[in-house]
Structure 1
Amino acid sequence: MRPTLHERWKRWQHGLVQSLLLYHGREDHATVRVLLLACIGTVGMPLYYVIWQHFFPQEYESLSLRLLGILLCALGLFARQFSRQMLNLYLLVALGYIFPFFFTFMFLMNHASGVWGESLLIGLVVLFHFDTGLALRAYVAGTALACIAASALGAGDMLTSRQVLQQVPIHWFTIAVLSVAKISRHVLAQEKLAGMGAGLATVAHELRTPLTSVDANVRGLLRMMADAQGHAHSPEDRLTIIDALARIQFEVRHMNHMIDLFLLSATAVRQKLHPVETVSMETVVEAVLRRYPFSSTKQQKMVRLEVRRNFQFAGQTELAVVVLLNLLRNALRAVQRAGKGRVRIIVDGAHQPPRLLFIDTGCGIPAQQMPLIFRRFYSHPPHNGAGIGLALCQEIMDAWAAKIRCVSRESAYAVFVLEFPQSPAIAR
């Protein structure tokens, strides 16, 4: 089946974005923007001279000013060879000349025509996508020089005309909006960095504890080996060694599990979440229980699976594993924090709609925290993970037209209810 026009367009967009990202990865961000704008300017300057001179003639046109603009744009094609200081100087001169000076001068000399009014506004939008301080310096210097040049050529009366003055508040409003938008982008970037930092902190915390345990067990074994040189190990020593090796094996399994869970969650964030297969709930729950690295037989016995009636749902097996691993991990943590309790997993296909219940009788969730638990980057208690797990679970369930909710009582229990559509329809 041939791809539709929309699919080909999306594919082309994706390819272009990936190419730009690859290019940005090899070059400095400012250098990339200079190169792209230099290419556009080198072509656009002569092209629009032809358009405004021959196809849609304007009152005033200047070949010499355009040639100077072409020269400045052509210099930008060699931005890779510029030092940082030289690049900043080039940006100030080139941006100041092309956007505020050239566009303002042509706007004034063409008696505030609509064509040049719109061109000037677009130029300001491009200008203030650069650093605000640099853009303001270029704007003030370029506009002042344009006004002086226009006055020297006899167009000074345009500076106080109604057509020009009414553009000033529009330009200032545009500059203000763009500056605020850049602040918002900066805040968003900081939030992303904070999210990455929280994720990395979680990884570090989750792996440091088992690594510390492994290190302690290895040091203990080394001491026992040193003490027992030339002597046979007693039965007690052998039992101690076996126990230490078992703990090391568990910690390694636990670290591998945590890495798997982080990788699964990271993959789930990027991949399409819509259902592509029919999944058996009992099968996926049993797979999760086999996969989870319980710290001991005692902890494993805390978890009980009850299948009232199995059911199937439209989803993805790996994503279902992500959801259930997150819920099981949270439930066992709640039991551990409370120092009491058990975990029950109930597969209830007889209920309408079919549902899965995750019940723990651990520490529960405070009432004031309940509205926040599915919010991304929120975790309770604070610093207890990156706050991505439950938010991701909800996103996955939403993609499957399923629901997840929580009923809890502090210091008593927490029940996560996962309800699935009765008649799954898989969209391929």
Structure 2
Amino acid sequence: MIYIFWIISLGLLYYFLEKRKKNRINELIDLIENMKNQDYKIPMKQDDFSILEDKIYKLFIEIVEAKETSTKNSEKQIEYLEDIAHQIKTPITSMLFSIESLEMDFPDNDDIEILKRQTIRLNSLSDILLKLSNLDANKNMMKKESVNLNEVLMYALDTLNVKSGIDVVVDNSLKEKYIEGDFYWLCEAIINILKNALNRPVCDKIIINSYKNPLYTSITIEDNGGGIEKENMKKIFKRFYKTPDSNGFGIGLAMAKTIVEKNNGEIVVKNVDDGAVFETKFYNVT
């Protein structure tokens, strides 16, 4: 009898310890979930799990503090970037007025034309920096409205004022395609993708199509500008990365990528025949 009682006691003790262990593990899981929801109530129990509980709590607090510090530093950098862009805007505008006066007085001076071109380029850079700071500072700035892809494309082409000699072929299917997003920011993204093609010296044709399936609606922009070097394929969407033959600032495609992602989409690029094709996919579900 004593032996049976001893076996039963061991069984009950094992059951009690296992149940207690499972309860404490569940409490640790609840602690992590509560902290994820910004409930930082300090654990009060003292047992074998208390050391682990305390370590989890302290580690989580350190992660939260590091994240807050990183966020504040990023916000300061964005403010500095915006402030710099605003500060250089005023003297650039003044310089442009002065250059126009010089052009009237010295119409045949080539140096003035060079100065004007570079000043306009600098003015464009300040505009781009302002747009980047707006994108970085406002995570939820994008409007959610029904946007027609053909209207976005027409707006982009009108803004670019494509020079003669470049044939732009637009498929009629764009008129029937609608997505949810911010019209003007999407125009900005398409403008920058088109600029990438238009800035290629050998490009004289751009073909624009659209495709829709249950998952996403896409717009493809294909050029015959010679394609993208294999080693540059993964770099072209990085900010300030420029290929050796580029005349831009290395910002346009990076900005386009950011805008598209903020509108529930993605950009993929590949080489085809004698050029490159950029496919921008906008997902139908969030």
TM-score (norm 1): 0.38
Task: Note if 1:381 corresponds to 2:273.
Answer: no
Pairing 1:284–2:172 present: no
C-alpha distance after superposition, 1:94-128 (max 9, x if no partner): xxxxxxxxxxxxxxxxxxxxxxxx9xxx9xx689x
**Quick one: distance in 2 between partners of 1:315 and 1:407?**
23
Counterpart of 1:315? 179
Quick one: structure 1 residues 166 and 416, their matched pair in 2 at CA, closer, same or farther if it must change by over 3 Å?
closer
Number of aligned residues: 229
Provide the C-alpha distance between the structure 2 equivalents of 1:326 and 1:396, rounded to a whole number of angstroms: 11
Question: What is the root-mean-square deviation in Å for CA atoms of aligned residues?
Answer: 5.4
Residue 222 of structure 2 corresponds to which residue in structure 1?
Answer: 359
Q: Which has the higher contact order (CA 8 A, sep 6+)?
A: 2
Give CA deviations for 1:49-76 in whole Å, capped at 9, x if unaligned. xxxxxxxxxxxxxxxxxxxxxxxxxxxx
- Of 123, 137, 141, the residue aligned with 1:271 is 141
Whether the 8 Å CA contact 2:239–2:250 is kept in 1: the answer is no
Between structures 1 and 2, the one with greater strand share:
2
Give the drift of 1:390: 1.1
Q: Work out the CA distance in 2 between the residues paired with 1:209 and 1:364.
A: 39
1:323–1:268 Cα change, 3 Å: farther
Cα separation, partners in 2 of 1:304 and 1:264, compared to 1, 3 Å: farther
Q: Which position in structure 1 is the counterpart of 2:257? A: 390
Aligned-partner Cα distance in 1 for 2:275–2:82: 27
SS of structure 1 residue aligned to 2:263: helix
How far apart, in 2, do the equivalents of 1:213 and 1:362 lie?
A: 35
With over 3 angstroms needed to count, the CA separation of the structure-2 counterparts of 1:287 and 1:181, relative to structure 1, is closer
Larger radius of gyration: 1
Counterpart amino acid of 1:217? Answer: I
Q: Could you tell me which amino acid in structure 2 is paired with residue 406 of structure 1?
A: V
Runs of 4+ with >6 A deviation: none
Contact kept? 2:142, 2:263, Cα under 8 Å: no
Matched to 1:312, the amino acid is E
Match of 2:24 in 1: none
The unaligned stretches of length 5 or more in structure 2 are 1-30, 244-248
Shift of 1:286: 1.8
In 2, the alpha carbon distance for the partners of 1:205 and 1:363 equals 39
- State whether residues 199 and 385 of structure 1, in contact with CA within 8 Å, keep that contact through their aligned partners in structure 2: no
- The 1:380/1:364 distance shift into structure 2, 3 A limit, reads farther
The structure with more helix, counted as a fraction of residues: 1
8 Å CA contact 1:213–1:251 kept in 2: the answer is no
Residues in 2 aligned to 1:210 and 1:302: alpha-carbon distance in whole angstroms? 32
Rounded Cα–Cα distance in structure 1 between residues aligned with 2:66 and 2:222:
44
- Name the structure 1 match of 2:206: 344
Q: How far is 1:262 from its partner?
A: 2.6
1:407 and 2:275 matched:
no
- Measured after TM superposition, the shift of residue 188 of structure 1 is 3.7
Q: 1:268 to 1:332 in 2, by over 3 A?
A: same
1:194 Cα deviation from its structure 2 partner: 4.3
Describe how 1:46-85 pairs up with structure 2 within 5 A. Answer: none
Equivalence map 1:171-250=2 (5 Å): 171=54, 174-194=57-77, 203=85, 211=93, 214=96, 217-218=99-100, 220-221=102-103, 223-224=105-106, 237=107
Could you tell me the TM-score, scaled by structure 2's length? Answer: 0.53
Give the fraction of aligned pairs with identical amino acids, expressed as a percent: 10
Partner Cα separation in structure 1 for residue 186 and residue 226 of structure 2: 21
Structure 1 pair 168/313, CA: closer, same or farther in 2 (3 Å)?
Answer: same
C-alpha deviation, 1:199, in angstroms: 6.5
What secondary structure is seen at the aligned counterpart in 1 of 2:177? strand
Q: Cα distance 1:301–1:206, how it changes in 2: closer, same or farther (>3 A)?
A: farther
